[in-house]
Chain A
Amino acid sequence: MLLKRILIGVAFILLACVPLVFSSYNVGLMGQFLALALVAMSISISWGIGGMLSLGQGLFFGLGGYALAMHLKLVATPKGELPDFMFYNGLEHMPWWWEPFTNPGFAMCAVVILPTLFAAFLGMVVFKRRITGVYVSLITQALVLAFVTLLNGAQPYTSGTNGITDYHTFLGIDLRTPEFRNQLYFATLVLVVLCYLGAKAFLTSHFGKVLLAIRDNENRVRFLGYDTSDYKIVAFAFSGMLAGISGALYALHKGTISPQMIDTSHSILFVVWVALAGRQSLGGAILGAVLVNFLQDKISTLFPEGWLYVMGGLFVLVAVYMPKGIIGTLEPLLSKVFKPKLSPRVELQKEQA
C-alpha cells in the first residue's frame, strides 16, 4: 500500500514537471490527455468498482463539454449579435436556454450539475427497476446515440456536426498563448489530483465498501438491510459528474467540442483505456488514458493507418492475457516482490525456519 502511494505520488510529480521538459505543443497535448483521464476515472468508478458498465459515458462528457463551450462561444460573440452558426442557420433570436450561459459562474455550475443530475435521473430509472449487467450498457449506449442524433439534428441550436468552435478567451484570458497553455495544464493537473483524492475518499468510505460489495453480491447486501439501488444511483451520478468536468476541460484544451468526440465509438474508447490499464484502480485509469492517448499521438504520426491495429491488438492481448488490465496484473506481482522486505515478521519466520 505504501509502495503504491509512493508510486502514485511520483507519477503526479512527474506530471507536474511536464511543462519544464516538453514543448508548448506537447504540454497542450498532455493537458488534453489529463482532461480525458477524468472520464477514464469516472468509468473506473462506475464500472470497476460499481459494476455498472456505461457505454455512454460520452453523454455526460458531452453535457459538461457543451455547457462550457456554450459560454465560451457567447464570450467570443460580439455583444448584441448571435453566435455565427445560429445566424447562418437563420435564427433571429437567441434561444432562451442559451441566455444564462453568458454568465461564467452559471456555465461552470452547469458543467458540474447538469451531468450529475442527468446521471442521477438515469440511474433512478434504471437501478430502481433493478436493471443490471449488459442491459445497463445497452441503455447507456442507446442514450448516447440519441444524444448525438439530437445534437446533429438541432443544428440551429447546437451547430450540428461541426460542433461549437472558434472560441478563444476564457475569463478574459486568451487561450492561444503559450503561458496560458502552461497555466491551463497546471489547472487541469490540480483538478485531476483533487478529483482523484475526492474519488479516493469516496471509495475508501463505508459507502465505497458497500458499493464494492454490491458489485460482487447485490442480493447479500440488499438483505443486510441496504437499499442497494440508492448506492448505485449515487455512484453513477458521481461518475457522471467526473465525466462532465472532464468534457469541459477537454473543450477548453481542444478549442472545440463536437458530436464526434462523444459518440458511441468514442464512448467505447473511454472504456477501452480503462480496461487496458485496469478498471479497478483509479490511478490505472489515469495512466491508461494518458498512455494510450500518448501512444496514439506518437504512433499515428509515424504510421497514420496503423494506430487502430495497434490499439485493437493491444486490447486483444490484454483481454486474453491480463483480464484485470495492466495495473491489475502488475500490482499483485509488485506487492509480492516488495512485501518480504517491508515486513520484518516474515523475515523472522524465515530465519527461524
Chain B
Amino acid sequence: MSPLLELQDITVSFDGFKALNSLNFSIAAGEIRMVIGPNGAGKSTMCDTIIGKVRPQHGKVLFEGREIQKLSEHKIVGLGIGRKFQAPGVLEALTVKENLQIAVRRNKQWYSSLFGRSATHEADDIEQVLNQVGLLEKMDSNASQLSHGEKQWLEIAMVLVQKPKLLLLDEPTAGMTAQETAQTATLLQSLAGEHSVLVIDHDMSFVELLAAPVTVLHMGTLFKQGSLQEIRDDSSVQEIYLGRAKQEGEHARA
C-alpha cells in the first residue's frame, strides 16, 4: 500500500544551516506515529515543510501520491492536512464555539464567508468534537479564559473538526497535567484507523501512553525507526540524547 504522506530526500537550510538534511520519511493511512529527537533535530521543521510554512530547497513532499511542496498553505490544508502548533494558537478574541466555526467551515473562500451560509452538519460536528475533548460546557466562554491545557485541547479540536486525513500535532501535551496528558493519549488512540496522526513530543510518559511506532530524528535526518521498546533499548539513541545532555551540561558549567 502506498503511504499517505511521503517525504523524499528533503533538504531545508536556513542561512547555510541544514535543519533537514536529505530526510526520507513516510506515514501510512490510519497510522499513529511518534516523532522524537533532541532539540534542533528538525522535528518542527519537518511539520513546517509538510504544511508549506517552510519550503524545501530540495526534495519532494508527496501526499496521496501528489506533489504538494509548491502549493500554497491553504491549499495544502484543503487537501486534508491539519496542524497544531507548538504554542497554543487559539483565537483569543473569539469564543470556543466561534474558534471551531472558523475551523469547521468547508468552503473557506471569502465570498462564501461573506454571502454563504454554514452547512447544517457543521453545528453537529462542532458539538461532537467538543464532546470528544470535554469542552462542551465551555462552548460560549471566551477562548482567552481557558486554562493552558484547555487551550491545547481546543486547538486539537480545531484540527480534528476539519476531519483531516493527516494530523500534525506539535507537542500537544505541553503544559498539561498528568491526567490531561493521559486523556489526550486516549483521544489520539481513538483517532487511529480513521486519521493518520503524526505527534511530536518530548514527554516520555506520553510517548509510553501512546505506545505508537517511534521515529527518531537527529541532525535533520532520520536516525532510527521502530517500536517504542526497540528505540528505548537502542544504545545509539541513548547516546544522541545523552551526548546532547552532556554537551549542554558542559555548556552550563562553562
Contact = CB atoms under 8 A, between A and B. Distances in A.
Interface string A205-244: 1110110110111011111111110110010000000000
Contact of A213 (B72, B83, B102, B162): B102
A230 B77 contact: no
Given A213-B91, A213-B102, A216-B91, A225 B110 contact: no
A202 interface: yes
Contact of A209 (B102, B108, B115): B102
B91 A202 contact: no
A34 B158 CA distance: 42
B118 interface: yes
Contacts of B102: 206, 209-210, 213, 221, 224, 226
Interface stretch (B92-100, B191-199, B244-252): B92-100
B83 A230 contact: no
Contacts of A212: 91, 93-94
Contacts, number: 77
Q: Which among A213, A221, A225 has the highest number of chain B CB atoms within 10 Å?
A: A225
Contacts of B103: 224
Given A216-B92, A224-B103, A206 B77 contact: no
B91 A226 contact: no
Interface string B89-121: 111111000100111010011100111101000
B101 A226 contact: no
B93 A223 contact: no
B85 A207 contact: no
A151 B73 CA distance: 41
A225 B164 CA distance: 11
B53 interface: yes
A226 B116 CA distance: 15
A222 B72 CA distance: 10
Say what secondary structure dominates the interface of chain A.
helix
Interface string B22-57: 000000000000000000000000000001010000
A220 B85 contact: yes
B100 to A, nearest CB: 10
Contact of B108 (A202, A216, A219, A227): A227
A329 to B, nearest CB: 17
Given A207-B114, A209-B101, A224 B162 contact: yes
Contacts of A215: 93
A68 B128 CA distance: 54
A219 B89 contact: yes
A224 B85 contact: no
B93 A234 contact: no
Contacts of A219: 53, 85, 89
B94 A209 contact: yes
A207 B110 CA distance: 7
A206 B238 CA distance: 50
A234 B114 contact: yes
A234 B109 CA distance: 11
Contact of B113 (A207, A216, A222): A207
B92 A225 contact: no
Contacts of A224: 77, 102-103, 108, 158, 162
A205 B114 contact: yes
B89 A225 contact: no
A160 B120 CA distance: 57
Interface of A: 202, 205-207, 209-210, 212-213, 215-217, 219-228, 230-231, 234
10 contacts: A205-B114, A209-B101, A217-B89, A221-B91, A221-B102, A224-B77, A227-B74, A227-B108, A231-B110, A231-B113
Given A220-B85, A222-B74, A226-B108, 17 more contacts: A206-B102, A206-B118, A207-B110, A207-B114, A209-B94, A210-B102, A210-B113, A217-B91, A220-B89, A221-B91, A223-B53, A223-B83, A224-B108, A225-B77, A226-B102, A234-B110, A234-B114
